[in-house]
Amino acid sequence: MAIETQGGWRWRTAPSHPHSVFLLCWFLGGVLLAFIAIPLIALAGYSAANLAEVARMADVRAAILLSLEAAFLSATFAALIGVPLAYVLARSSFPGKGAVAALIDLPLAVPHTVAGIGLLMVFGRHGPLGEPLHALVGIKFWGTIAGIVVAMMFVSAPYTVNAARMGFEAVDPRLEKIARTLGLGPWRTFMRISLPLAWRGIMTGITLTYARSISEFGAVVILVYYPMTAPVKIYELFLRIGLDQAAGAAVLLLIVSLSLFVLLRYLAHQRETIRENR
Protein backbone atom coordinates (compact mmCIF):
# COMPACT_ATOMS: atom_id res chain seq x y z
CA MET A 1 0.00 0.00 0.00
CA ALA A 2 1.36 3.46 -0.98
CA ILE A 3 1.22 6.32 1.54
CA GLU A 4 2.11 9.98 1.07
CA THR A 5 4.89 11.53 3.16
CA GLN A 6 6.75 14.85 3.08
CA GLY A 7 9.43 13.29 0.94
CA GLY A 8 6.94 11.85 -1.52
CA TRP A 9 5.29 8.50 -1.85
CA ARG A 10 6.59 5.29 -0.29
CA TRP A 11 5.34 1.77 -0.05
CA ARG A 12 4.29 0.30 3.26
CA THR A 13 4.21 -3.47 3.47
CA ALA A 14 1.14 -5.04 4.94
CA PRO A 15 1.45 -6.56 8.43
CA SER A 16 2.76 -10.08 8.27
CA HIS A 17 0.02 -12.30 9.70
CA PRO A 18 -0.28 -16.03 9.10
CA HIS A 19 -2.94 -16.64 6.48
CA SER A 20 -4.84 -19.78 5.56
CA VAL A 21 -2.50 -20.86 2.75
CA PHE A 22 0.57 -20.45 4.98
CA LEU A 23 -1.07 -22.38 7.82
CA LEU A 24 -2.17 -25.16 5.48
CA CYS A 25 1.37 -25.46 4.10
CA TRP A 26 2.77 -25.65 7.61
CA PHE A 27 0.24 -28.33 8.55
CA LEU A 28 1.01 -30.49 5.52
CA GLY A 29 4.73 -29.96 6.02
CA GLY A 30 4.34 -30.97 9.65
CA VAL A 31 2.66 -34.19 8.56
CA LEU A 32 5.66 -34.98 6.35
CA LEU A 33 8.12 -34.14 9.14
CA ALA A 34 6.24 -36.39 11.55
CA PHE A 35 6.16 -39.14 8.94
CA ILE A 36 9.97 -38.99 8.77
CA ALA A 37 10.71 -38.50 12.45
CA ILE A 38 8.34 -40.95 14.17
CA PRO A 39 9.79 -44.19 12.70
CA LEU A 40 13.32 -43.04 13.55
CA ILE A 41 12.30 -42.22 17.11
CA ALA A 42 10.50 -45.55 17.44
CA LEU A 43 13.54 -47.40 16.09
CA ALA A 44 15.89 -45.70 18.55
CA GLY A 45 13.61 -46.34 21.50
CA TYR A 46 12.95 -49.95 20.60
CA SER A 47 16.56 -51.03 20.16
CA ALA A 48 18.32 -48.96 22.84
CA ALA A 49 18.67 -52.00 25.08
CA ASN A 50 20.23 -54.06 22.29
CA LEU A 51 22.58 -51.38 21.04
CA ALA A 52 25.52 -52.24 23.30
CA GLU A 53 25.13 -55.95 22.63
CA VAL A 54 25.11 -55.46 18.87
CA ALA A 55 28.05 -53.04 19.03
CA ARG A 56 30.16 -55.82 20.56
CA MET A 57 29.51 -58.12 17.59
CA ALA A 58 32.63 -58.20 15.42
CA ASP A 59 30.75 -59.09 12.23
CA VAL A 60 28.42 -56.09 12.64
CA ARG A 61 31.34 -53.72 13.18
CA ALA A 62 33.12 -55.19 10.16
CA ALA A 63 30.01 -54.73 8.01
CA ILE A 64 29.67 -51.08 9.03
CA LEU A 65 33.35 -50.38 8.37
CA LEU A 66 33.06 -52.06 4.97
CA SER A 67 30.05 -49.86 4.12
CA LEU A 68 31.92 -46.72 5.14
CA GLU A 69 35.01 -47.66 3.13
CA ALA A 70 33.08 -48.64 0.02
CA ALA A 71 30.90 -45.52 0.24
CA PHE A 72 34.00 -43.33 0.48
CA LEU A 73 35.45 -44.95 -2.64
CA SER A 74 32.11 -44.64 -4.43
CA ALA A 75 31.83 -40.93 -3.61
CA THR A 76 35.46 -40.36 -4.64
CA PHE A 77 35.06 -42.00 -8.04
CA ALA A 78 31.71 -40.27 -8.57
CA ALA A 79 33.40 -36.92 -7.93
CA LEU A 80 36.37 -37.65 -10.21
CA ILE A 81 34.25 -38.55 -13.23
CA GLY A 82 30.95 -36.87 -12.36
CA VAL A 83 32.09 -33.30 -11.67
CA PRO A 84 33.71 -32.89 -15.13
CA LEU A 85 30.50 -34.17 -16.73
CA ALA A 86 28.50 -31.71 -14.63
CA TYR A 87 30.68 -28.86 -15.87
CA VAL A 88 30.15 -29.89 -19.50
CA LEU A 89 26.38 -30.01 -19.00
CA ALA A 90 26.36 -26.63 -17.25
CA ARG A 91 28.54 -24.78 -19.74
CA SER A 92 27.79 -26.23 -23.17
CA SER A 93 24.95 -27.02 -25.53
CA PHE A 94 25.12 -29.99 -27.86
CA PRO A 95 22.74 -32.36 -29.65
CA GLY A 96 21.41 -34.96 -27.25
CA LYS A 97 22.12 -32.96 -24.11
CA GLY A 98 18.65 -33.70 -22.79
CA ALA A 99 19.15 -37.40 -23.41
CA VAL A 100 22.46 -37.32 -21.50
CA ALA A 101 20.81 -35.57 -18.55
CA ALA A 102 17.97 -38.11 -18.59
CA LEU A 103 20.44 -40.99 -18.68
CA ILE A 104 22.19 -39.61 -15.61
CA ASP A 105 18.89 -39.56 -13.72
CA LEU A 106 17.86 -43.03 -14.89
CA PRO A 107 19.41 -44.94 -11.94
CA LEU A 108 17.15 -42.94 -9.63
CA ALA A 109 14.10 -44.41 -11.37
CA VAL A 110 15.32 -47.98 -11.92
CA PRO A 111 14.47 -50.42 -9.08
CA HIS A 112 17.71 -51.27 -7.38
CA THR A 113 17.23 -55.01 -7.66
CA VAL A 114 16.87 -54.48 -11.42
CA ALA A 115 20.08 -52.44 -11.33
CA GLY A 116 21.77 -55.28 -9.47
CA ILE A 117 20.73 -57.80 -12.12
CA GLY A 118 22.06 -55.53 -14.88
CA LEU A 119 25.34 -54.98 -13.07
CA LEU A 120 25.70 -58.71 -12.47
CA MET A 121 25.24 -59.37 -16.19
CA VAL A 122 27.98 -56.84 -17.03
CA PHE A 123 30.44 -57.26 -14.15
CA GLY A 124 29.78 -60.91 -13.24
CA ARG A 125 32.06 -63.87 -13.84
CA HIS A 126 31.05 -64.14 -17.48
CA GLY A 127 30.10 -60.52 -18.10
CA PRO A 128 31.54 -58.45 -20.96
CA LEU A 129 33.53 -56.38 -18.43
CA GLY A 130 33.84 -58.70 -15.45
CA GLU A 131 35.50 -61.62 -17.27
CA PRO A 132 38.19 -59.70 -19.24
CA LEU A 133 39.06 -57.43 -16.32
CA HIS A 134 39.55 -60.46 -14.11
CA ALA A 135 41.66 -62.20 -16.74
CA LEU A 136 43.81 -59.19 -17.67
CA VAL A 137 44.35 -57.28 -14.42
CA GLY A 138 42.94 -59.59 -11.76
CA ILE A 139 40.04 -57.33 -10.75
CA LYS A 140 36.87 -59.21 -9.93
CA PHE A 141 33.55 -57.75 -8.90
CA TRP A 142 32.01 -60.75 -7.18
CA GLY A 143 32.87 -61.29 -3.55
CA THR A 144 35.05 -58.17 -3.35
CA ILE A 145 34.78 -54.53 -2.36
CA ALA A 146 35.17 -53.59 -6.04
CA GLY A 147 31.72 -54.99 -6.77
CA ILE A 148 30.26 -53.17 -3.77
CA VAL A 149 31.71 -49.88 -5.00
CA VAL A 150 30.32 -50.46 -8.50
CA ALA A 151 26.83 -51.16 -7.13
CA MET A 152 26.91 -48.17 -4.78
CA MET A 153 28.21 -45.82 -7.43
CA PHE A 154 25.61 -46.83 -9.99
CA VAL A 155 22.71 -45.80 -7.74
CA SER A 156 24.31 -42.76 -6.11
CA ALA A 157 26.45 -40.99 -8.75
CA PRO A 158 23.48 -38.97 -10.10
CA TYR A 159 23.44 -36.97 -6.87
CA THR A 160 26.99 -35.76 -7.46
CA VAL A 161 26.40 -34.89 -11.11
CA ASN A 162 23.12 -33.05 -10.55
CA ALA A 163 24.26 -31.06 -7.51
CA ALA A 164 27.59 -30.14 -9.13
CA ARG A 165 25.78 -29.08 -12.30
CA MET A 166 23.54 -26.73 -10.32
CA GLY A 167 26.64 -25.41 -8.57
CA PHE A 168 28.35 -24.60 -11.88
CA GLU A 169 25.16 -23.09 -13.31
CA ALA A 170 25.03 -20.72 -10.34
CA VAL A 171 28.48 -19.34 -11.25
CA ASP A 172 28.23 -16.27 -13.47
CA PRO A 173 29.86 -17.17 -16.82
CA ARG A 174 31.09 -13.58 -17.08
CA LEU A 175 33.54 -14.29 -14.26
CA GLU A 176 35.10 -17.05 -16.31
CA LYS A 177 35.27 -14.79 -19.37
CA ILE A 178 36.94 -12.03 -17.35
CA ALA A 179 39.49 -14.53 -16.04
CA ARG A 180 40.25 -15.62 -19.60
CA THR A 181 40.73 -12.02 -20.75
CA LEU A 182 43.16 -11.49 -17.86
CA GLY A 183 45.37 -14.26 -19.18
CA LEU A 184 44.17 -17.36 -17.35
CA GLY A 185 43.98 -20.45 -19.53
CA PRO A 186 41.02 -22.85 -19.52
CA TRP A 187 42.50 -25.12 -16.85
CA ARG A 188 43.49 -22.29 -14.50
CA THR A 189 40.11 -20.65 -14.97
CA PHE A 190 38.39 -23.90 -14.10
CA MET A 191 40.58 -24.59 -11.06
CA ARG A 192 40.73 -21.03 -9.69
CA ILE A 193 37.30 -19.64 -10.61
CA SER A 194 34.70 -22.24 -11.58
CA LEU A 195 35.56 -25.01 -9.13
CA PRO A 196 35.88 -22.86 -5.97
CA LEU A 197 32.67 -20.93 -6.70
CA ALA A 198 30.73 -24.14 -7.32
CA TRP A 199 32.25 -25.89 -4.33
CA ARG A 200 29.14 -25.83 -2.13
CA GLY A 201 27.05 -27.59 -4.77
CA ILE A 202 29.82 -30.09 -5.45
CA MET A 203 30.22 -30.94 -1.76
CA THR A 204 26.46 -31.27 -1.36
CA GLY A 205 26.42 -33.80 -4.18
CA ILE A 206 29.39 -35.73 -2.80
CA THR A 207 27.81 -35.82 0.66
CA LEU A 208 24.51 -37.10 -0.73
CA THR A 209 26.37 -39.70 -2.80
CA TYR A 210 28.27 -40.87 0.28
CA ALA A 211 25.12 -41.10 2.39
CA ARG A 212 23.16 -42.87 -0.34
CA SER A 213 25.99 -45.33 -0.93
CA ILE A 214 26.06 -46.36 2.72
CA SER A 215 22.37 -47.21 2.62
CA GLU A 216 22.36 -49.17 -0.65
CA PHE A 217 20.97 -52.70 -0.36
CA GLY A 218 19.25 -54.00 -3.51
CA ALA A 219 22.06 -53.67 -6.05
CA VAL A 220 24.74 -54.75 -3.56
CA VAL A 221 22.94 -57.88 -2.34
CA ILE A 222 22.59 -59.17 -5.91
CA LEU A 223 26.03 -58.30 -7.26
CA VAL A 224 28.01 -58.93 -4.04
CA TYR A 225 26.20 -60.71 -1.23
CA TYR A 226 29.40 -61.41 0.66
CA PRO A 227 31.36 -59.74 2.21
CA MET A 228 28.29 -58.17 3.77
CA THR A 229 27.79 -54.45 3.93
CA ALA A 230 25.86 -53.04 6.87
CA PRO A 231 22.40 -53.03 5.18
CA VAL A 232 22.89 -56.62 4.01
CA LYS A 233 24.05 -57.65 7.49
CA ILE A 234 21.00 -56.02 9.07
CA TYR A 235 18.76 -57.95 6.69
CA GLU A 236 20.63 -61.18 7.46
CA LEU A 237 20.23 -60.61 11.22
CA PHE A 238 16.52 -59.96 10.74
CA LEU A 239 16.05 -63.26 8.86
CA ARG A 240 18.32 -65.36 11.05
CA ILE A 241 17.75 -64.01 14.57
CA GLY A 242 14.84 -61.58 14.58
CA LEU A 243 13.89 -57.97 15.01
CA ASP A 244 15.80 -57.15 18.21
CA GLN A 245 19.37 -57.51 16.96
CA ALA A 246 18.47 -56.23 13.50
CA ALA A 247 17.01 -53.07 15.07
CA GLY A 248 20.09 -52.64 17.25
CA ALA A 249 22.37 -52.92 14.23
CA ALA A 250 20.13 -50.50 12.33
CA VAL A 251 20.40 -47.89 15.08
CA LEU A 252 24.17 -48.34 15.25
CA LEU A 253 24.45 -47.78 11.49
CA LEU A 254 22.09 -44.81 11.75
CA ILE A 255 24.23 -43.17 14.43
CA VAL A 256 27.44 -43.65 12.45
CA SER A 257 26.03 -42.54 9.09
CA LEU A 258 24.22 -39.50 10.49
CA SER A 259 27.32 -38.41 12.39
CA LEU A 260 29.40 -38.57 9.22
CA PHE A 261 26.68 -36.82 7.21
CA VAL A 262 26.54 -33.93 9.70
CA LEU A 263 30.35 -33.73 9.78
CA LEU A 264 30.63 -33.54 5.99
CA ARG A 265 27.94 -30.87 5.75
CA TYR A 266 29.67 -28.89 8.51
CA LEU A 267 33.06 -29.07 6.79
CA ALA A 268 31.53 -27.96 3.48
CA HIS A 269 29.78 -25.03 5.19
CA GLN A 270 32.96 -24.03 7.01
CA ARG A 271 34.95 -24.01 3.79
CA GLU A 272 32.32 -21.83 2.13
CA THR A 273 32.29 -19.45 5.11
CA ILE A 274 36.08 -19.10 5.03
CA ARG A 275 36.03 -18.38 1.31
CA GLU A 276 33.31 -15.73 1.67
CA ASN A 277 35.19 -13.98 4.49
CA ARG A 278 38.42 -13.63 2.54
**Residue 273, in any domain of the structure:** yes
**Residue 37, in any domain of the structure:** yes
* Beta carbons of 78 and 153 less than 8 angstroms apart: yes
pLDDT digits (tens, 9 = 90+) for 253-268: 888 888 887 887 777 6
**Residue 166, in any domain of the structure:** yes
**Residue 82, in any domain of the structure:** yes
pLDDT for 235 equals: 92
Q: How far apart are CA 220 and CA 112, in angstroms?
A: 9
pLDDT for 225 equals: 86
- Helix orientation angle between 243-277 and 199-215, rounded to the nearest 10 degrees: 170
Q: Which domain holds residue 251?
A: 19-277
pLDDT above 50 for 118: yes
pLDDT digits (tens, 9 = 90+) for 194-237: 888 888 899 889 989 998 999 899 999 999 988 999 999 999 98
pLDDT for 117 equals: 93
To 10 degrees, the CA torsion angle through 215, 219, 220, 224? 180
As for how many domains the chain has, the answer is: 1
Closest CA to 238 of 228, 249, 229, 246: 246
**Residue 12, in any domain of the structure:** no
* Beta carbons of 147 and 141 less than 8 angstroms apart: yes
In order of 204, 229, 231, the CA distances from 33 in angstroms are: 21, 29, 24
Which run of H or of E encompasses 212? helix 199-215
**Residue 13, in any domain of the structure:** no
The pTM for the full model equals 0.82
Q: How far apart are CA 182 and CA 118, in angstroms?
A: 49
pLDDT digits (tens, 9 = 90+) for 4-31: 455 555 555 555 556 788 888 889 999 9
CATH number, residue 79:
1.10.3720.10
**Residue 1, in any domain of the structure:** no
241: which DSSP letter?
A: T
pLDDT digits (tens, 9 = 90+) for 150-166: 999 999 999 999 999 99
**Residue 5, in any domain of the structure:** no
